[in-house]
Amino acid sequence: MKMLFHYNWAVREEWFAWCEEISEAELLKPRTGGVGGILHTLFHVIDVEWIWIRVLQGKSDFNDSFDDYRSIRQVRELEAAFRPEVESFVLNWNEGMENREFRDTGPGGNETLDTWGEVVRHMIAHEIHHVGQLSVWSREIGRKPVSANLIGRGLASGKRG
């Protein structure tokens, strides 16, 4: 599980670098699917990751709007502000946390019961899903997407490649 967070963070960093070579207009342009455009999607995955970690710990969530983070610099700064808390949670994950109950009341008022392990794996899959959208959009503007390959990153051995 920890390795997949490191994978997502490495791929995210590569997307940040990719975005620095793209015009602001392209980064902000509304796209089909996803939550908006390229930059808004990066904001969204960072926002959702941090909110889930906070909610699992019984802390307040984040209510800022993407309208306050409309540059790659601002989104990078937001990620840098959130990362220490997220990384601490991930690095301190242990088997005892896996089956802790998580009760959530959805928008329709329906309560669901999940485990922390399910929620954490959902967070991982959520970002991977949105990275796929970024890849499609990069091709639409004629750019090569960031590689989503987990192999060759040195994550299993502890080396970061």
Q: What is the dotted CATH code of the domain comprising 2-140? A: 1.20.120.450
CA distance 125 to 119: 10
CA distance 146 to 151: 14
**Where exactly are the structural domains of the chain?**
2-140
Which residue shows structure tokens 């909610």? 55
Which residue shows structure tokens 């009341």? 105
CA distance 3 to 18: 23
Answer for the pair 43, 78: CB distance below 8 angstroms, yes or no.
yes
What is the mean pLDDT for each group of 10 consecutive residues in the chain (161 residues)?
93 97 96 91 95 91 85 96 95 95 84 92 96 96 94 74 44
Answer for the pair 79, 46: CB distance below 8 angstroms, yes or no.
yes
